Structure 1
Amino acid sequence: MKNLHYIVIEGPLGVGKTSLARLLAEKLEGETLLEDVEGHPFLTKFYRDPKKYAFQTQIYFLLRRYQQIAEIHQMDLFKKVVLSDYLFEKDRIFARINLDDQEFWLYEQLFQLLHRKTVVPDLVIFLQARTDVLLERIRKRGRKFEKGVHPDYIESLNDAFNSFFFHYQDSPLLVIDASEIDFVHVPEDLDNLVAQIRNMEGGTQYYVPLASRR
């Protein structure tokens, strides 16, 4: 696939988006645009009391993601590919789960206003994984604010992401079952993915790297 200037890696919490974005940026000699999670002022409070802090958490994410994506206009996309670990529309997936109806109505007004000004990716890579795999990866990365995350919450997010990308048509989409894939420690997995990206012809494709097939 030619003219790949803006690639997004997406998927639920713990699936490995950021690690893959960094690896692909190195392989493709590109730049990363990564989500600002550690600097979020409400996230720790949200995990302690989701109902109380859901709206503040979601609005901050929405505005921060928009600000970051707006930076793409300042980048020279004809010289380097940009690898991001989030799609702007993913914010709405979390909002639909975390907000009540009145909060979501207000959120939706702002989302629609900002969404029409964002850049559409040239390719979206959707990483899928079983919920038990996600929970184990979340545990291993050891973020303090994620210690209290409930398995049911991860399950609901996983279902919501699968549903969203089942209907996604805005960009070419590469769907990968990442439950048994290790892009960090198995070079063949990463090399196979890079080859698949370069051979993409549009539409939706499903791929499992050969190195991880058992």
Structure 2
Amino acid sequence: MVSRDTGRAEAAARRAHPSRAGRTTCPDWYTRDTLEFRHIAIEGPIGVGKSALATRLSARLDAEVVLDDTDNPFLADFSAGRPGAAFQAQLFSLLARHRQQVGLRQSNLFNQQTVSDYLFDKDKIYAYLNLDDNELFIYQRLYDLLLADVVPPDLVIYLQIPTDALRRRTRSRDREYRENGETPPDPEYLGELNDAYTHFFFHYVSTPLLVVETSHVDLEWGDTAINDLLTQVRGMGHGTRYYVPR
């Protein structure tokens, strides 16, 4: 995907949650016993390995895994730069994620151990990168209405990675993308997106947050890596913790 405007990453993340600017820890009232982390959401930019970790972690915890439905009939037109396609793709993704989240809440799944490979809030990061001001006006109104139906996670694990490493990782999967009929992520867009994610989570305060530096992480997440990650999770209180795997 190719963003029409460059240099919007920080503004996109800042506008995605403007009321949180300058705050880097959870409010004092937000405390939660580690054992009560029933719903864990894993986040990070395209290609960082969210789904692989969610699947592996859910298997280890004997938890339900919830994966983002990435099928979007408007993505091809968006990648081709067709006018209006970005707005269509963004609304489709927003409504699909909302529908999934509401279904999970109604089925009472969030009272079980659950691991998902996305945070509902992520949708705004993409929206503020890809939409123009008129489109954002409509998008924001719809987003605010839908957000009230979404149950927030108890813990977010943010997979952080330098942009150069992210680009190398996605380049190594170019053949996989093409074999699946998908367009590999544009390197420039990846850079903007990664910057937006970094800024967003620097100011994220809604839940406890574990930031994991993943430059040299084995994407298969073997037993040792999962054990070390769970040690970090068990040690979480409120606020943000940074973890560099050994």
Q: Could you say what secondary structure the match of 1:174 adopts?
A: strand
CA distance in 1, matches of 2:201, 2:88: 26
Give 2:212's match in structure 1, choosing from 176, 194, 199. Answer: 176
1:1-214 aligned within 5 A = 1-37=34-70, 39-49=71-81, 51-73=83-105, 74-78=107-111, 80-141=112-173, 142-144=176-178, 146-184=182-220, 186-210=222-246
**Aligned residue type for 2:205:** Q
Q: Could you say what secondary structure the match of 2:237 adopts?
A: coil
Q: Unaligned regions of 5+ residues in structure 2, if any? A: 1-33
**Aligned residue type for 2:177:** R
Q: How big is each residue's C-alpha offset from its partner over 1:89-120, in whole Å with a ceiling of 9 and x where there is no partner?
A: 10000000000010011100000111122101
Maintained 8 Å contact 1:8/1:85: yes
CA distance in 2, matches of 1:148, 1:16: 15
**Aligned residue type for 2:66:** L
Maintained 8 Å contact 1:126/1:174: yes
Aligned-pair distance for 1:13? Answer: 0.6
Aligned-pair distance for 1:54? Answer: 0.2
Maintained 8 Å contact 1:5/1:122: yes
Aligned-pair distance for 1:186? Answer: 4.2
**Aligned residue type for 1:13:** I
Q: Structure 1 residues 64 and 46 mapped into 2: Cα distance closer, same or farther (>3 Å)?
A: same
Task: Name whichever of 179-188 and 116-125 sits farther off.
Answer: 179-188
Task: Name whichever of 137-146 and 12-21 sits farther off.
Answer: 137-146
**Aligned residue type for 2:206:** D
- Work out the number of aligned pairs and report it: 208
Task: Name whichever of 187-196 and 13-22 sits farther off.
Answer: 187-196
Maintained 8 Å contact 2:159/2:213: yes
Q: Unaligned regions of 5+ residues in structure 1, if any? A: none
Aligned-pair distance for 1:183? Answer: 4.2
Please, what is the CA RMSD of the aligned residues? 1.6
TM-score normalised according to structure 2 size: 0.80
Q: Could you say what secondary structure the match of 2:242 adopts?
A: strand
Task: Name whichever of 129-138 and 151-160 sits farther off.
Answer: 129-138
Task: Name whichever of 60-69 and 149-158 sits farther off.
Answer: 149-158
Maintained 8 Å contact 2:53/2:221: no
CA distance in 2, matches of 1:107, 1:156: 20
Q: Structure 1 residues 108 and 65 mapped into 2: Cα distance closer, same or farther (>3 Å)?
A: same
